Amino acid sequence: MNSGTQPLLEVNNLSKHFGAVRALDDFSMVIQPGEVVALAGDNGAGKTTLIKTISGVFRPSSGEVKLKGEPVSFATPQEARDKGIETIYQDLALADNLSIGANIFLGREPMTRKLGFIPVLDRKKMADAARDTMALLDFHVSRMEAPVSNFSGGQRQAVAIGRAVYWNAQILIMDEPTAALGVPEQRKVISLIHQLKKQGRGIIFISHNLQDIFAVSDRIIVLRRGVMAGERKISETTHDEVVKLMVGG
Amino acid sequence: MTSSQVNAPAEGEHVKPQADHADRAKTVVQRIADLRAWLFLAVLIIGFESWSRLSFGGTFIFNGFNLQSIAIFAVAPLLLATGQTFVIISGGIDLSMGFIMGLAAVVAAHAINTFTPGLGLPLAVLLGAIVAVAVACIPGVINGLLVSRLKVPPFIGTLGMFGVARGVAFLLAGGTTVPVSNSFFATIGNGRIFNVPYIVIITAIFVLGMHYLLGQTRFGQHNYAIGANVKAASRCGINIKSHLLRLYILSAACAGLAGVLYAARFNAGAAQAGEPLLLDSVAAVVIGGASLFGGSGTIIGTVAGAFVIAVIQYGLVFVNVEPFWQFISVGVVIIISVLIDQAQRRFSGGRQDE
C-alpha cells in the first residue's frame, strides 16, 4: 500500500492464543523507516500481547514477523534486541544506583586492561558513549558519573531510549512512555520521539493519551478484543473517530 | 479564576528555592552518610586516646601492640563482612556465614591433622585449607540454589542453612574443639613479619581482591544492578540465577577462609568459632554505608565498619570497662548508622518525588 520502499517491520496475520482465549487474532501491520505508529485500544484489547509477540516475549501461535523483508522468529527478548527491536518499558528498566553509561552497557559492559593485565570495567568508554548518545538525543548532561536516580523522570526516560539508540535499535517499542511524567517532561519525550523519527527508526508507541498520540504519530492502529478495529492516518482522523473505534461505536 | 492565576506563578517562585535548599541539605547529609564509618572511627579513636591519656598517661593508638591486636580482632568479622557486603548489596542477606565459618574451622583442623603425616607440614596446610574452603562452599551452593531457583527469601533460606551448618559442624567436631598438630599452621596463625601478623596480611590481600571484584568487574556491576532493580537487570540480559548462585558461594567461601584463619590462630577448630561474628559482620556492612534494601555499599566502607567494631571491642577492654558495654556500644553505633542512612534516604526520596 505504501510506496515502494522496503518496510522496516511487517507483521502478517499474527495470532496469539492462550488456551481458548484469542488475545490477538489475524493481525497485520507495516512500519516504514522513520514512521511512528500509535497503538490504541482499551485495556485487554491486545496491545500488550502484540508488542510482546513482536519483541520475543511470546511465541506467536500463527503468522509471521518480517524485519526488513526477512522473516524472523525470536525465542527470547534478547534475540529480538540483538536484531534491533528494543522495548522501552513503562517502569524504565534502569538500575537507579548506576550511572547513565553503566545503564546503557548493563549486561554488556566493556572491559579494558589496567597495567596491561588486570581486566577492569572500561568506565571511560561507558561515559564517552553515554555522552555521545545523549547528545544525539539532544540531551546534554554534565554529571556523567552521577547515578540516574539523581535525574528527572524525562531524563531517565531519555536514558532508557539512549540505551536502545546506542545498541542501534531499528524498531523502538514504547509502552506508555509519558504516563508517569509531568507535562514539561512529556514534551521532552515527544521531542525525543521526533529525533528518533528523523534518524529513520521505526517507532511503535502505546499510549492512552490521545493528545500525545496526535502530537507524534503518523498513523494510529486501534485494537479491540484482539483484532484490528481500524487504521487511520493521523492527518485524516479526529479524536472522536479514534474514540469511537476504541469503544466499538 | 483570578486567584488561581495569581497562585500559579507564586507557587512556581516558591518551588525553586525550596528545591535548591533540599539539594544543599541533601549533599551535606549524603556526605555525612557516605563517610559515617570513618567519622565513627575517628570519634572512637580520639575518645579512647583521650581516655587512655587521662587515666593511664599512655597512648592508645600509637602503640604497636594495640594496633596489632585491633587488626587481629578485625580479621574474622571483616572476612565475613566482605562476603556479606556482596550479599547485602544484591538485596539479600546470608545468616549462615557464622556457622559456615565454624564448619570450615573444624574441617580444616581434621583435614590438616589427616594430611600432615603423609604430606609434610606446609603441603598439608595448603591442602587442608583448600578442602576446608571447598567444604564451606557446599552450604553456599545450597543457599544459592534455594534463593535463585526455588525463590526462597534469603533470610529464611540462609537461616535454615545456619541450623544445618551448625549441626554438621558440631557433629564433625564431636561436640568439642579439635586441636591441630601442625607447627607450620600455628606459625601462620600467630607469626608476624615486620610486626604485621600473617593472618592480617592474608586478610588484607583477600579484601583487596574483593574490592576489585566489586568495583571493577562485571560481577560487581551486576551485583549493584540486581540490588537496585532485579527486573531491569534481568531485562538487560543478566543471568540472575547464575549470579545469585555464585554470590552465595562467594559469601560461603569468605566464611570458609575466616574459619581456616581462626583454626590457624587458635590452633584448633571449633564449631562455634563464628557464632558471635555473624551479627558483627552485618553490623560492619551497615555501619560501612550499605543499605539493607540493597543497591549500595562498598568494601572500603565495610573495612571501616569492621574496624569501628574492632576498636570498640578492643578499646573497651583496654580501658578496662566491663565487656558487656561492648554490646551496648556496638548496638548504639548500628542504630545511629541506620538513622543516618534513613535521613539520607528521605532527602533523596523527596527529591525524586518532585
B216/A149 CB distance under 8 A: no
Q: Of B154, B16, B136, which Cα lies nearest the Cα of B94?
A: B154
Mutating which of A86, A92, A97, A98 best tests the B interface, going by the most B Cβ atoms within 10 A?
A: A97
Mean pLDDT of chain B: 85
In one-letter notation, the amino acid at residue A173 is I
**Interfacial residues of A (vs B; Cβ cutoff 8 Å):** 77-78, 81, 89, 91-98, 102, 106-109, 111, 118-121, 149-150
Residue B172 contacts residue B136 (beta carbons within 8 Å): no
B221/A92 CB distance under 8 A: no
Q: What pLDDT digit, counting tens, does each position of A130-180 carry?
A: 888 888 777 777 778 888 888 877 788 888 888 888 888 899 998 888 777
Q: What pLDDT digit, counting tens, does each position of B247-294 carry?
A: 999 999 999 999 999 999 999 999 998 888 988 899 999 999 888 888
Return the SS3 of B346: helix
Residues forming beta bridges with residue A23, ordered by sequence position: none
Give me the sign of the Cα torsion angle B53, B56, B60, B65: positive
- Residues of A whose CB is below 8 A from B352: 149
**Average pLDDT, integer, range B110-126:** 89
Q: Would you kindly state where each structural domain of chain B is located, as residue ranges?
A: 63-343
Chain B closest-CA separation from residue A129 CA (Å): 17
Which conformational region is residue A71 in: left (phi greater than 0), alpha (psi within -120 to 50 degrees), or beta?
A: beta
Q: Would you kindly state where each structural domain of chain A is located, as residue ranges?
A: 1-84+170-249, 93-169
Mutating which of B26, B27, B218, B353 best tests the A interface, going by the most A Cβ atoms within 10 A?
A: B218
Which conformational region is residue A237 in: left (phi greater than 0), alpha (psi within -120 to 50 degrees), or beta?
A: beta
Q: What pLDDT digit, counting tens, does each position of A87-103 carry?
A: 887 666 789 889 999 99
Beta-carbon-side half-sphere exposure of residue B116 (alpha carbons within 13 Å): 14
Q: Return the pLDDT at B102.
A: 94
Q: Return the pLDDT at B12.
A: 33
The answer to whether residue A56 scores a pLDDT higher than 90 is no
- Residues of B whose CB is below 8 A from A97: 224-225, 227-228, 295-296
The answer to whether residue A212 scores a pLDDT higher than 60 is yes
DSSP strand E in chain B: where? 178-179, 192-193, 196-197, 268-269
Q: Return the pLDDT at A4.
A: 55
The CATH label, of 1.10.3470, 2.60.40, 3.30.310, 1.10.10, for the domain at B63-343 is: 1.10.3470
Q: What pLDDT digit, counting tens, does each position of B293-350 carry?
A: 889 899 999 999 999 999 988 888 888 888 888 889 888 888 888 888 787 777 665 4
Q: Of A156, A108, A100, A149, which Cα lies nearest the Cα of A128?
A: A100
Residue B148 contacts residue B241 (beta carbons within 8 Å): yes
Superfamily of domain A1-84+170-249: P-loop containing nucleotide triphosphate hydrolases (3.40.50.300)
DSSP state of A107: T
The answer to whether residue B15 scores a pLDDT higher than 50 is no
- Residues of A whose CB is below 8 A from B351: 150
Helix axes B97-119, B154-173, angle to 10 degrees: 40
A110: buried, middle or exposed (CB in 10 Å: 19+, 13-18, 0-12)? middle
Residue B319 contacts residue B55 (beta carbons within 8 Å): yes
**Average pLDDT, integer, range A227-246:** 88
A198: Cα separation from own chain's centroid: 15
Chain B closest-CA separation from residue A142 CA (Å): 17
Chain B closest-CA separation from residue A57 CA (Å): 11
d(CA A148, CA B20): 19
**Interfacial residues of B (vs A; Cβ cutoff 8 Å):** 212, 216-218, 221-222, 224-225, 227-229, 231-233, 235-238, 295-296, 348, 351-352
Q: Return the pLDDT at B94.
A: 94
- Residues of A whose CB is below 8 A from B222: 106-107
